[in-house]
Amino acid sequence: MTKNSDDAANPESQVRPDGVGRRTVLLGGVGGALALSGVRPAFAAAADDAPLRAAVLEFRDQWTKATGLAQLLGRAGVEVIPLDVTKGAAEQAQTVDLIAFGSFTNNDVAYGKFVESHGESLRTFVDGGGVVLELTQSDQFGPAVTYLPAGTTAIRDDRDFDAIYPVATDHPLVKALPVSGGQVLAGRNPAIRTSWESLVEWTRMRVLMSGTSGGVQPPCLLEGAHGSGRWVISSLTVDKCFGVDGTPVQPAAAISDSETFFAAVAAYVRMVKAGTAPEVVPTPQPGDVVTGPMVGDVGTKNARLWLRPGPEDREELVWACTVIPAVGPGAPVHRVTAEISRENDHTMIFDVPRLAPDTEYTFAIRPHSRPTADPHTGSFTTAPPDHRPAVVTMGLGSCAPSVSDPVWNRIMEEGVDSFVMLGDTPYIDSPRLDVARRKQRDFLRVPEVAELISTRPIWGTWDDHDFGVNDTDGNYVGKENTRKAFVDYRANSSYGQTVDGELQTGRDEGEGVYTSFRRGPIEIFLIDPRWFSRTGPSWADPAKQTCTGEVQWQWLREQLQRSTATFKALATGMIWDDKQNSESDDWGTYQHEREAIFDFITKEKIPGVFLLGGDIHVSRALNYGARVGYDLWQFIVSPLHNRTIPSLNVPHPALVHSAVEPNVFLKLVADTTVKPATLTATWINSAGKRIFEVHRTSTDMGHRR
């Protein structure tokens, strides 16, 4: 889901009596001063019934259309004033005990200006005994909470959760919440995720709640100490309770939970003021653990195997991989070595040659100096010979969750012998190398993903969210970092081109990530329409901007002319027509190059071509008719996660099938053991339901009988 401020409407300011004495509460944004009489010392210890005052900044975002932070604090007996973003913490209209940022407030420019200009005042405020509460914020404006003091960090990513588990069950912010089935904050409106933009890294903070049972990661509520005060950093949307007209958007029980939480916040602020809040004992962040192994590119006689060992093993520079065929005693055993590449984030790739085609293998990877150490294991099957009749069952998908999800189990249960990541696999949305690498690791460590990648060949490309951010092109600042993370964490046979325009097979600096591979009767051309887009004139029309760049175009022409595969897929993360929205990352924007590709296929009489795309969170099948001398189909498969975008299921004269379906992947079966050969594409969801299917023959796709 893309979260930005372009189309968000600022909330209206509303004033509502809160029913507690003469106190009043401001709802909405930063406008409208609330007149409150009297000024008191900022952090003086006081009786339990002494008034509390909070400065609040909140925002009615475009996804939930809801607010509630000020109103809920008011119900907890807190006097609320709007945060004046032009002034520091000590310069507000009245002295305050709490500064609170509502969920998604960083989508309003006021938040960014305030934390940039007044970060030091926030640190001084907390050092003197104040409390800062930050609820969930979008990570696309920078995943780190920027105003924390040196040595204290909290970093977000794009993962969302609805099941929330107490970790510090004795903490005043946790123990008052009702527990149901081991969870807190249950039964909320499913359209408003309970934990949005999860916290994934932290230092000098205590984990109070988590998005997983029995663990601390990812935390959704963190507490930190600074001087006499506290930071409370959260990914919870417990404030999103009331719509534009003030009516509830959450069930009564969920609003009751929110009221309980903010009553606990008020009591906690009193404890901080009085110096009786529990000591903050930071929760250690789980150690950097093993990622992989992963099976990468596998041909008829070769395989690439990938691993990132845990930190305790990274001093072992040389590693050994033993590959054993499953055909029985006497079969040749293959042993190769590889070195850890610190330049590639402590990862390594084993290139295994001289394998037998269409053969199942197992492998074990150990430090070379410790041949009896516990191995990292997996398995794969080599591709069938190119010209022998065969059946290949391939899975493909885009827009993936970085959390456990039954869709991954379903993919494996469907018997796919290989899988292609079609982009937004995973979501990164950051130009920082450390963030991109971490998100790649988090994705590959998801238990079901880890099983998938260790037991069959995996290939990948990128789309906007793992290349850059939403709707980005080749001018994205930071693409060198996301490319470096991509080549660090994928084992394709090649990665775009060198700076000299040669095919890049190593993991050094280069340009783009395009590649191709063949598995029996099918060849996949993973085209990169991101890196080169809008960086120069088009090879198809110099008056327009390029999408692929000229070197990639030459590569694609040569590969298509050389291919003898029965079926040939031109695959990109983005779709091959126009999304018909305000975004420009689709082949409709570059139709001059798209049509030139189609004209080339027609002129060269290249049979068996079809198109693959993802990105749009909708699944579709389109038949463009005899555009290349035979019917040209596009298969769009998206999303693997559960967030659909119904507005992108737009009418199109070529549309044959469509479905706004979450957790969906494509099962592609190419069969040349029958005549004519067949290609069957089936869209399947995580429950195993067949959404729709397209069946074509080689004759339908331009081959002679």
Report pLDDT digits (tens) over 571-627.
Answer: 999 999 999 999 999 999 999 999 999 999 999 999 999 999 999 999 999 999 999
Average pLDDT in the 260-267 region?
97
| Alpha helix segments (H runs only) across 446-521 | 447-453, 464-467, 479-488
The token pair that represents 60 in the structure block? 């009615």
Three-class SS of 102-142: CCCHHHCHHHHHHHHHCHHHHHHHHHCCCEEEECCCCHHHC
CATH number of the domain residue 531 falls in: 3.60.21.70
Residue 297 lies in a domain: no
159: CB partners within 8 A, 6+ apart: 197, 198, 200, 211, 218, 401, 402, 403, 442
Residues 186, 63 share a domain = yes
Final residue of a structural domain among 274, 297, 318 = 274
Amino acid at site 376: H
DSSP element (H, E) containing 90: none
| Residue 35's pLDDT band (cuts 50, 70, 90) | very low
Residues 590, 444 share a domain = yes
pLDDT above 50 (res 36)? no
pLDDT score for 32: 29
pLDDT above 60 (res 45)? no
pLDDT above 50 (res 162)? yes
pLDDT above 80 (res 166)? yes
Residues 620, 483 share a domain = yes
Q: Strand 418-421 relative to strand 153-156: parallel, antiparallel, unpaired?
A: unpaired
Burial class (CB in 10 A: 0-12, 13-18, 19+), 415: exposed
pLDDT score for 17: 27
Looking at the chain, the whole-number percentage of residues with pLDDT higher than 90 is 83
DSSP element (H, E) containing 75: helix 69-75
Average pLDDT in the 304-309 region?
97
Taking only the tens place, the pLDDT of each residue in 356-413 is: 999 999 999 999 999 999 999 999 999 999 999 999 999 999 999 988 899 999 999 9
pLDDT above 60 (res 30)? no
Residues 615, 488 share a domain = yes
pLDDT score for 288: 73
pLDDT score for 311: 84
Final residue of a structural domain among 258, 274, 290 = 274
Residue 370 lies in a domain: no
Residues 204, 86 share a domain = yes
| Residue 214's pLDDT band (cuts 50, 70, 90) | confident
Residue 332 lies in a domain: no
pLDDT above 90 (res 423)? yes
Give the rounded distance of the alpha carbon of 321 from its chain centre: 31
Residues 196, 78 share a domain = yes
pLDDT score for 49: 63
pLDDT above 90 (res 212)? no
Largest CA distance in the chain: 91
pLDDT score for 568: 98
pLDDT above 90 (res 6)? no
Final residue of a structural domain among 274, 299, 332 = 274
Domain that holds residue 18: 14-41+49-274
Q: Strand 165-166 relative to strand 303-308: parallel, antiparallel, unpaired?
A: unpaired
Report the C-alpha gap between 79 and 63 in whole angstroms.
Answer: 28
Mean pLDDT across the chain: 91
Report the C-alpha gap between 507 and 505 in whole angstroms.
Answer: 7
| Residue 41's pLDDT band (cuts 50, 70, 90) | very low
Residues 387, 270 share a domain = no
Residue 361 lies in a domain: no
Average pLDDT in the 480-497 region?
98
Residue 328 lies in a domain: no
Average pLDDT in the 509-524 region?
98
| Residue 159's pLDDT band (cuts 50, 70, 90) | confident
CATH number of the domain residue 168 falls in: 3.40.50.880
Report the C-alpha gap between 597 and 581 in whole angstroms.
Answer: 24
pLDDT score for 48: 53
**Residue 248, strand partner residues:** 242
| Residue 158's pLDDT band (cuts 50, 70, 90) | confident
- Domain total of the chain: 2
Residue 493 lies in a domain: yes
pLDDT score for 42: 35
